[in-house]
Amino acid sequence: MKFITPFLVSAVSVVAAVSAFAAENPIIHADVPDVSMIRVGDTYYMSSTTMHMAPGVPIMKSTDLVNWKLVSYAYDTLDDVDELKLANGRNAYGRGSWASSLRHHDGTFYVATFSGTTGKTYIYSTKDPEGGTWEQVSSFRPSLHDLSLFFDDDGRVYAIHGGGDLSLVELEPDLSGIKEGGVNKVIIENANRLFGENEVGGLKAEGAQLFKVDGKYHLFLIASPRSRWSRSVLLHRADRITGPYEGRVGMEDKGVAQGGLIDTPDGDWYAYLFRDTGAVGRIPWLVPVEWKDGWPVLGVDGKAPEKLDDLPASEGLMPGIVASDEFDRGQGDPALPLVWQWNHNPDDEHWSLEARPGALRLTTSRVDKELVEARNTLTQRTFGPVSSAETRLDASGMKEGDFAGLCALQRKYGFVGVKAGPDGRQVVMVSAQDGAPRELASEPLEGQLVHLRVECDFRDRADKARFFYRVDGKEWKAIGDTLQMSYDMPHFMGYRFGLFNFATEEAGGHADFDFFRISDSISG
């Protein structure tokens, strides 16, 4: 028999209490990459990358740095080009808009982002990121890669951008474009040399974020040395924005990198960064910061800690980042809550919440070969360590050759759904794990209604998705094979749950989804 002294019991209780009430990394176990963060009074705001999704550049809000909720998007659609509309055989997978820069200046919020799809830089503004409307300030060429927007104390406005070599460019005071005759120079050449002359290579330094603290300019970058793909934080500082800059490696641990600085009203400092974490995506971490000799020192003994004792525990991602939806809308309700994003720009004439009240109707507008070509796929993030989504599909309006259902969306996608064929409807599981879609299972569907379920397991980077269906209140039945999810660069995004309907023979059919219910649990 083991005896535990009162002291040990007390110590165990204290440890349990700290574990229960302290924050843990990652602070958001979902794809929220390229974070830019600011504090306005006691409130924090954060922007992120969603690339080809629409609406884009999500804006999130928090009062404690740990619990976040979506409050707006910088734009409904980035631009009107074929790639962003999945039109004429073109797409914007992995492109669209990338790393944004969120700033607050003279009572106005600004977001700057850039697009390799259109070759432009975009700037948006609002007085109120929660109740107001974001307006486009400008769109101009060139596309400034990973730009950091910066309002200096003398009223001049700049952007730092680039990869490997970092450039400073002055903008017009009204942010309409690059200022003619203004500053335009390389301020850091080959930032990767901080790893050592023999380590130049790997990921070229990028992801610039510039801050001014106690009169000094501090620049954060992400890079990796040549001999190992270890994403690291590079730090530079200067007395003047134009330089000269001195630099050092700020942190190399677990691949946690790319981000910047944030302080609390109480004077504590953190670095907000992200970590590549397999198929769930690039997920945000917070790392404590201390100041020594005018430098921000990141981490605990140079490491990104898993516990953050000075911050509260997470209350979960639901409903702030992801949420269930019964598709019931009251007077004045938005058509779609902010948790939803379309895969590319939507075709608004072919989706409806009014055609059948209480259901989302997706109507096909053309013929496509496979899921990733289909317009109007409505998505939400998957999340870890495990997550699942469920829907009920009414297939009565589908035409022969139509596929509709619930997917785990990335390049190597999988879905469970209904296929309408000449001999009736079938429940199918389709997998693109090998690079092309293959129908792995097919079972006859009696009637028109079917419940569909997708489960995602990201524990220990298992990255597995399983697919289920049921009819008439019966038990869930697994269908097809487990999908080995893979974070692939062509999409450059963590997996998404998605509701879809596409035609392979004739346009005009419709599918009705009665609800979408999301959970942080799975069956196994």
**What CATH number is attached to the domain comprising 22?**
2.115.10.20
pLDDT one-digit tens code per residue, 454-495: 999 999 999 999 999 999 888 999 999 999 999 999 999 999
pLDDT one-digit tens code per residue, 140-180: 999 999 999 999 999 999 999 999 999 999 999 999 999 99
Mean predicted confidence (pLDDT) in 371-376: 98
Residue 323 lies in a domain: no
Per-residue pLDDT at 291 exceeds 70: yes
pLDDT computed for residue 351 by the predictor: 98
pLDDT one-digit tens code per residue, 85-144: 999 999 999 999 999 999 999 999 999 999 999 999 999 999 999 999 999 999 999 999
Q: Could you tell me the maximum CA-CA distance found in the chain, to the nearest angstrom?
A: 82
Mean predicted confidence (pLDDT) in 305-328: 97
Which CATH number belongs to the domain containing residue 443 in this structure?
2.60.120.200
Per-residue pLDDT at 374 exceeds 70: yes
Residues 251 and 377 in one domain: no
Per-residue pLDDT at 13 exceeds 50: no
Residue 425 lies in a domain: yes
pLDDT computed for residue 20 by the predictor: 59
Mean predicted confidence (pLDDT) in 429-456: 97
Residues 237 and 381 in one domain: no
Confidence category of residue 359, pLDDT binned at 50, 70, 90: very high
Among 312, 328, 354, where does a domain finish? 312
pLDDT computed for residue 228 by the predictor: 87
Per-residue pLDDT at 8 exceeds 50: no
Per-residue pLDDT at 42 exceeds 90: yes
Residue 443 lies in a domain: yes
Residue 119 lies in a domain: yes
Amino acid at residue number 20: A
Residues 113 and 262 in one domain: yes
* 493-523: burial string, b at 16+ Cβ within 10 Å, e else: bbbbbbbbbbbbeebebbbbbbbbebeeebe
Residue 304 lies in a domain: yes
Distance CA 359, CA 339 (A): 17
Residues 201 and 248 in one domain: yes
CB 209 within 8 A of CB 148: yes
Residues 347 and 304 in one domain: no
Among 273, 291, 312, where does a domain finish? 312
Distance CA 164, CA 126 (A): 32
Residues 301 and 373 in one domain: no
Q: Report the relative pairing of strands 295-298 and 464-470 from DSSP bridges.
A: unpaired
Mean predicted confidence (pLDDT) in 448-455: 98
Among 312, 328, 350, where does a domain finish? 312
User: What is the separation, in whole angstroms, between the first and last Cα of the chain?
Assistant: 34
Residues 308 and 360 in one domain: no
Residue 32 lies in a domain: yes
Residue 31 lies in a domain: yes
Candidates 451, 374, 464; CA nearest to 416 is 451
- Which tokens go with 171? 């903008």
pLDDT computed for residue 1 by the predictor: 32
State which residues form the domain around 486. Answer: 341-519
Residues 215 and 347 in one domain: no
Residues 351 and 481 in one domain: yes
Distance CA 467, CA 453 (A): 6
Residues 280 and 360 in one domain: no
Residues 286 and 347 in one domain: no
When divided into structural domains, the chain yields a total of 2
Per-residue pLDDT at 5 exceeds 50: no
- Rounded (10°) CA dihedral 124, 127, 131, 137: -20
pLDDT computed for residue 350 by the predictor: 98
Q: What is the mean pLDDT of the chain?
A: 95
Report the predicted TM-score, pTM, of the whole model to 2 decimal places.
0.95
pLDDT one-digit tens code per residue, 226-250: 998 899 999 999 999 999 999 999 9
Q: What are phi and psi of 197, to 5 degrees?
A: -60, -30
Residue 334 lies in a domain: no
Residues 210 and 252 in one domain: yes
